[in-house]
Amino acid sequence: MSILIRDLRPDDLRDVESVVRVRRAALPFLITSAGDLTFELSSAHPAKHHRVLVAETPDGEVLGTAQAGIAHDSPRPGQGYVNAYVDPARRGIGAGRLLLRTAEEHLAAQGAVDSYAWVLDEPAHRAFAERHGYRPGRSGHFLRLDLAAAELPALPDALPAGVELLPAEAFAADPRPLFAIDAEATADEPSDVGADLDDYQDWLNHTWHHPSLDKTLTIVALVDGRAVAFSAARTDGATRYGSAMTGTLRAFRGRGLAKLAKNASLHRARAAGYTEAFTGNDSGNEPMLAINRWFGYEICATETHFTRRLGTQWPSN
Ligand SMILES: CC(C)(COP(=O)(O)OP(=O)(O)OC[C@H]1O[C@@H](n2cnc3c(N)ncnc32)[C@H](O)[C@@H]1OP(=O)(O)O)[C@@H](O)C(=O)NCCC(=O)NCCS
């Protein structure tokens, strides 16, 4: 079958929804919507060279999709990313291979040295990555909590002296304190590629203004009036709640503030009618995994971050 690879047409709602359908089928633990996808393209920093590719048949059936670009905020230059998803019902006809080839050509043209890809821990997916010259690195878990049924830890009757909890919307006039926490937390999150958040405008563009960020469910912990920890929530506006980042300034870790902020957020989310909570953690992130176990989250899938040095030939099949 001949398969065409092209860029997503962000102004064509049917095209956008086809890509959302494939992403949801491939990774049901992520919150994905048409609005998020168009925002992903429109808010991307120019240095990311972010593209969303589509694999389709000559009669216009979308078989798969990939997003590819440069991790422009990594402390190591030349780190590219490609995440390819093929409709589970349309695997094995070459869409994944063509998506990967087109994405790698794009990365190489933008000066990438390495290509990183998240791959589900299923034999067929790992074999696909290895066949194309990729080698495994760190792994990460998707975790799920049945929020409707969970026995969440009780909220404390009184907060510790000097501690206050506020929703993120209280920082609407000046969210810079939350950027400062996010920058420190992101730098400390275990990762193969890393990220230095030093561009406040870029953070406003793609994090603070993210259409799924719920600023009433995102909870900030303050100590003596200073914002020091938060737990960020994204939702689908219906039943699904996802953690976007939980972070505490280094000087305030180990005092229970992340637990406090996330617990308040989960309680509010349940009261607002959300029934399922999702998150993703590096498999070596012991503090965050301990916190999520405390809430009752369970691992529902594992991915491995595979990498390939670009500029070398794909092994022959
Ligand atoms: C993860 C993070 C948010 C925790 O913040 P915190 O305010 O220190 O968290 P808390 O004090 O509320 O709780 C930490 C819990 O982890 C446990 N913990 C800490 N280090 C641990 C380790 N090495 N192994 C196992 N558990 C550990 C603590 O014992 C504590 O549980 P306890 O209250 O039962 O003792 C903070 O370390 C951080 O900002 N890290 C970088 C950002 C990050 O990785 N965020 C998660 C992204 S998915």
So what's the pLDDT on residue 314? 77
Going from the Cα of 259 to the center of ligand 1, the distance in angstroms, rounded, reads 8
Mean of all residue pLDDT scores within the chain: 95
So what's the pLDDT on residue 312? 78
Q: Which residue has the CA at smallest separation from atom 8 of ligand 1?
A: 253
Q: Which residue has the CA at smallest separation from atom 17 of ligand 1?
A: 287
Q: What is the pTM of this model?
A: 0.94
Q: Which residue has the CA at smallest separation from atom 41 of ligand 1?
A: 185
Q: Tell me if 231 CB under 6 Å of ligand 1.
A: no
The pLDDT tens digits of the residues spanning 113-134 come to 999 999 999 999 999 999 999 9
Q: How far is CA 253 from CA 85, 191, 259, 260, 297, in A?
A: 37, 19, 11, 12, 21
So what's the pLDDT on residue 1? 77
- In ligand 1, the atom with minimum distance to the C-alpha of 259 is 12
Q: Which residue has the CA at smallest separation from atom 38 of ligand 1?
A: 247
The pLDDT tens digits of the residues spanning 295-311 come to 999 999 999 999 999 98
Per-domain residue ranges of the chain? 4-112, 144-302
Q: Tell me if 232 CB under 6 Å of ligand 1.
A: no
Domains 4-112 and 144-302 share a fold: yes
Going from the Cα of 294 to the center of ligand 1, the distance in angstroms, rounded, reads 11
In the chain, what percentage of residues exceed pLDDT 70? 99
**Residue 161 banded pLDDT, cuts 50, 70, 90:** very high
Q: What is the mean pLDDT of residues 10-36?
A: 94
CATH 3.40.228.10 fits 4-112, yes or no: no
So what's the pLDDT on residue 317? 56
So what's the pLDDT on residue 194? 84
Q: Which residue has the CA at smallest separation from atom 21 of ligand 1?
A: 287
The pLDDT tens digits of the residues spanning 276-294 come to 999 999 999 999 999 999 9
**Residue 262 banded pLDDT, cuts 50, 70, 90:** very high
So what's the pLDDT on residue 316? 65
Over 90: is that where the pLDDT of 193 sits? no
* 144-302 CATH: 3.40.630.30
Over 60: is that where the pLDDT of 275 sits? yes
Q: Tell me if 254 CB under 6 Å of ligand 1.
A: yes
The pLDDT tens digits of the residues spanning 212-223 come to 999 999 999 999
